[in-house]
Structure 1
């Protein structure tokens, strides 16, 4: 299932480290015309973050969207 979301994930993962950070999520939402406060972006990350590292992996991203 993760492969289904890999392209979208890579577009959000601007620095290419394999993880989506609060900063990357904030940038995406701003580009989409739906800016988030840093607090709202962090809360969104927490909802998807299964391992508690404060970042979103491709597997976590796919599990949340799938």
Structure 2
């Protein structure tokens, strides 16, 4: 299972389970800062002439909080 908002960089096959909002590099996971994630997501969508909507932010925040409060 690969979670929401992951970045995966690996020279081999990555782990089978990569948590949401994590940066996976060659077998190790580092948690992402949520505000930084939103900033990056907003820039990526902007390059595609799209904007990050309030419902998307709420959904992403709920997923982030569910992962970090469990």
User: Which TM class, normalised by the smaller chain length?
Assistant: 0.3 to 0.5
Q: Provide the TM-score with structure 1 as the length reference.
A: 0.37
Higher Cα Rg, which structure = 2
Kindly indicate which of the two structures has a greater share of residues assigned to helix.
1
Kindly indicate which of the two structures has a greater share of residues assigned to strand.
2
The higher-RCO structure (CA 8 Å, 6+ apart) is 1
